[in-house]
Amino acid sequence: MAWILFFDGDCAFCSSSVQQVARFDRHAQISFSPLQGKLALEKGFTHYADAAGGTMVLFRESDGVILTHSDALIALARIFGGFWRIFTLARFIPRPLRDRAYSWIARNRYRLMGKSATCMLPSPELLKRLRD
């Protein structure tokens, strides 16, 4: 697995998104780790879970590339391949506009889907790809 997707483990929207990413990642290139976990702390990513405007972090282990906000979403579309590649065209939209839309969703994620008091129950396949 070449990528680690760090996500807000307290966010139902984020946890649901992780399940979708795992489903669309046909070649299992992405592993997952909560931003509240030990690995995120070691990498210095815990501040990205900020409730006021957090973001996921896509980290490529091979060379240390860190992608956040809309850049991470575009990279996910590239990783998924197939139909999803159409979303890589978003890179032609100016980053400030893309990131403004991303930030609005991030700021409202708890309102949209709630804050989870319990952990998601991952599928056995997803469980193999979770890292702390």
| DSSP code per residue over 25-48 | -TT--EEEEETTSHHHHHHT-GGG
Residue 130 counted as domain residue: no
Give a yes or no: residue 40 inside a domain.
yes
The pTM of the full predicted model, rounded to 2 decimals, is 0.83
pLDDT at 13: 76
> Does residue 128 lie within any of the structural domains?
no
pLDDT of residue 118: 54
d(CA 95, CA 108): 20
CATH code for the domain of 46 = 3.40.30
Residues of the chain with pLDDT > 70: what percent?
87
CA nearest to 130, candidates 9, 47, 11, 10: 9
Residue 131 lies in a domain: no
Q: Which domain holds residue 45?
A: 3-113
Least confident residue range of 12-16, 69-73, 92-96, 99-103: 12-16
Q: Is residue 42 part of a domain?
A: yes
Phi/psi class of residue 31: alpha, beta or left (left: φ > 0; alpha: ψ in -120 to 50)? beta
Number of domains within the chain: 1
What is the tens place of the pLDDT at every residue in 30-86?
A: 999 999 999 999 999 988 877 666 688 999 988 999 999 999 999 999 999 999 999
On whether residue 50 sits in a domain, the answer given is yes
Has residue 125 been placed in a domain? no
Give a yes or no: residue 127 inside a domain: no
Q: Which residue has the higher pLDDT, 68 or 120?
A: 68
| Per-residue pLDDT at 109 exceeds 80 | no
The count of residues in the chain is: 132
